[in-house]
Amino acid sequence: MMAIESDKVTADVIEVSEYPLMAQRYQIYGVPKTVINESIELEGARPEAAMVGAVEAASRTAAS
């Protein structure tokens, strides 16, 4: 939903069981798992405010 509201956001929903190498790379042991800008990781379902806060933090520290 955040990618619908902001042109700065790209959101991928990844069916990870099809991509074992990706599961290994991102160390997916449970779902859902969210990775933002390859740096912030959130395990499990989180409240909306926590997700938005993590996105804001990731944007602040993004390279470009």
**What is the contact surface with another protein in residues (CB under 8 A)?**
1-19, 22-23, 26, 28, 31-38, 48-49, 52-53, 55-56, 58-60, 62-64
Chain centroid to Cα 46, Å, comes to 11
Distance CA 42, CA 54 (A): 9
Task: Name the residue with tokens 């933002």.
Answer: 36
CB of 36 to another protein, least distance (A): 5
CB of 43 to another protein, least distance (A): 10
CB of 47 to another protein, least distance (A): 10
- E strand or H helix at 3: helix 2-5
